[in-house]
C-alpha cells in the first residue's frame, strides 16, 4: 500500500487488485417474503464444505473456493460457476452464475416446502393382554 502526504494528512491509496486474488461474489438468500434465511448454506457441487450464510442478512461472500483435491477455484470474470443453496424446510436450489468484473451480487429466493400431508396419528399396537374382553352374556 502506498502512503501519500497532503498538508500533514496521510491518505492511503488503494493498491490495485492482483488478478490472482479472484473476483468477490456475494450471494444473498431470502425467503418468499424477502426475509433473510438464517439457516441457509451455500456450496459448490464439487466441494465438500458447506458455507453458512450470515444469520442477520442471509449473505455469503467469497472470491475463492477450495476443492477436495487441494486446488483453489478462484473466481474470474467470464467464468461460470454453479452453486447449490439449501436450508431446512426449503426447496434446494441449484443455479449457475457468470461472473462479471465487479458488482457480483446474486439474490436468491428459497421457497418453503409445502407439506400437504395430513398428520397421521401413531398407530395403536395391541398386545395379547390388551385385547378387549368379549362381553359376558348373562
Segment 47-80, tens digit of pLDDT:
888 899 998 999 999 888 888 888 888 888 998 9
What pLDDT sits at residue 57?
A: 92
What pLDDT sits at residue 29?
A: 93
pTM comes to 0.66
Distance separating alpha carbons of residues 106 and 25, to the nearest angstrom: 8
pLDDT of 21 above 50: yes
| 63: its cell numbers | 472470491
Q: Give the residue-averaged pLDDT of 111-119.
A: 73
- In order of their start, the domains of the chain are 17-110 (2.60.40.1120)
pLDDT of 32 above 80: yes
Nearest to 44 by CA among 71, 78, 77, 17: 71
Distance separating alpha carbons of residues 23 and 102, to the nearest angstrom: 7
The CA distances from residue 95 to 86, 90, 127, in Å, are 11, 15, 53
pLDDT of 119 above 80: no
Amino acid at each position: 500500500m502506498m502512503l501519500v502526504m497532503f498538508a500533514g494528512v496521510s491518505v492511503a491509496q488503494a493498491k490495485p487488485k492482483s488478478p490472482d486474488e479472484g473476483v468477490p461474489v456475494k450471494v444473498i438468500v431470502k425467503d418468499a417474503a424477502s426475509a433473510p434465511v438464517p439457516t441457509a448454506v451455500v456450496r459448490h457441487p464439487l466441494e465438500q464444505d458447506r458455507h453458512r450464510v450470515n444469520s442477520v442478512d442471509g449473505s455469503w461472500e467469497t472470491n475463492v473456493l477450495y476443492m477436495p483435491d487441494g486446488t483453489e477455484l478462484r473466481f474470474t470474470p467470464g467464468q461460470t460457476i454453479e452453486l447449490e443453496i439449501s436450508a431446512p424446510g426449503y426447496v434446494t436450489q441449484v443455479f449457475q452464475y457468470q461472473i462479471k468484473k465487479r458488482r457480483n451480487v446474486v439474490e436468491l429466493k428459497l421457497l418453503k416446502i409445502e407439506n400437504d400431508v395430513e398428520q397421521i396419528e401413531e398407530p395403536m399396537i395391541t398386545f395379547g393382554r390388551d385385547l378387549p374382553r368379549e362381553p359376558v352374556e348373562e
